[in-house]
Amino acid sequence: MRVVIVTESFPPDVNGVAHCALQTARHLAARGHDPLVIAPAVAGADDSGTTAPCPVVRVPSLPLPGYPQVRVALPSRRVAATIAAHRADLVHLASPFVLGVRGMAAAARLDLPAVAVYQTDLAGYARTYVGAGEGAAWRRIRTVHTAADRTLAGERGHRMIARRFHELLTERGLARGTAPGSDPEQAPPSRAAAALWLATAGTAWVARRCTDLLPQLMRLAGAEVRHWARGTSDRLDRSAEHALSAALAAVSPDVPLARMGE
């Protein structure tokens, strides 16, 4: 099966979406499928040293205002052209929000089935860290997941949906190999394994958050305290609304934007 994975993030980015997209590509390749990844371009990096088991097509992107470690893909015809050129049987949308929405639109135009993975609480992020745009984020998430043929969430849910999808592919003579099982392939980690992870990878994760997210949060908290002390909190709200609207307009000019609180 020829699968195009459209992801909002991919290595060398270090986050859950990038990791899961890479593991999905590896799993598909190991099972004899033909995956291809479409992801935002990363400034100052290329894929020459990546461990991706398949081609990676990058689209132009900009850093997210206030959080430059996250790249937001710009509108590009490359998405639809790449999906068509790969002769995809399926489009896999990894945590779709910006690039994934365009992948969904391309899949619909090409009459291809699409599955969308709900993995990141972007609406909660907008509420907690941006202070605006939660309603707009939920509407966008709802739109793309409603348009997708299937939404995947959670391991058992993944397996249940994958098994049903395998049955549908079997009916059409497109399935390869055996259907996935209903139970996880690996046992839950032991206490020792969990402690080892916490002491190694878990500590590294906390260290990365202290160097990328924490400084941004501290600056935001400082700005809120200063505006509160001066009685100008409404000015900070307007500034945040303007920054969010400008960022969304840059990547999605055709979608009407909601104001704060909507």
Reduced to 3 states (helix: H, G, I; strand: E, B; else coil), residue 179 is coil
Q: How confident is residue 78, by pLDDT bands cut at 50, 70 and 90? A: very high
Task: Kindly report the number of other CB atoms within 10 A of residue 172's CB atom.
Answer: 7
pLDDT digits (tens, 9 = 90+) for 224-257: 888 888 888 888 778 877 777 776 666 555 544 4
**255 lies in some domain:** no
**81 lies in some domain:** yes
Task: Assess whether pLDDT exceeds 80 at residue 81.
Answer: yes
For helices 233-251 and 203-230, give the axis angle rounded to 10 degrees: 130
Task: Assess whether pLDDT exceeds 70 at residue 155.
Answer: no
**175 lies in some domain:** no
Task: Assess whether pLDDT exceeds 90 at residue 119.
Answer: no
**188 lies in some domain:** no
pLDDT digits (tens, 9 = 90+) for 166-208: 888 888 888 878 887 766 667 777 888 888 888 888 888 788 7
User: How many folded domains does the chain comprise?
Assistant: 1
Strand order in the sheet with 150-152: 56-59, 34-40, 2-7, 90-94, 114-117, 150-152
Average pLDDT over residues 76-80: 92
> Which segment, 73-87, 139-153, 155-169, is predicted with the most confidence on average?
73-87
**146 lies in some domain:** yes
**131 lies in some domain:** yes
Which of 38, 36, 44, 35 has its CA nearest to residue 12? 44
* 44 vs 54, residue with greater confidence: 54
Domain of 132, in residue numbers: 2-153
| Enclosing H/E stretch for 60 | none
Q: Retrieve residue 206's tokens.
A: 């906390």
Integer Cα distance of 124 and 196 in angstroms: 30
Average pLDDT over residues 76-92: 95
**174 lies in some domain:** no
CB-based contact 252:101 (threshold 8 Å): yes
Say how many Å lie between the first and final Cα of the chain, rounded.
Answer: 42
Reduced to 3 states (helix: H, G, I; strand: E, B; else coil), residue 185 is coil
**209 lies in some domain:** no
pLDDT at 262: 43
Reduced to 3 states (helix: H, G, I; strand: E, B; else coil), residue 113 is coil
Integer Cα distance of 76 and 79 in angstroms: 6
* 48 vs 71, residue with greater confidence: 71
Task: Assess whether pLDDT exceeds 90 at residue 128.
Answer: no
pLDDT digits (tens, 9 = 90+) for 6-47: 999 998 888 888 989 999 999 999 999 999 999 999 876 666
pLDDT at 255: 47
* 258 vs 224, residue with greater confidence: 224
Task: Assess whether pLDDT exceeds 60 at residue 260.
Answer: no
In terms of pTM, does the model score above 0.85? no
Integer Cα distance of 211 and 43 in angstroms: 18
Give the domain CATH number at 7: 3.40.50.2000
Q: How confident is residue 93, by pLDDT bands cut at 50, 70 and 90? A: very high
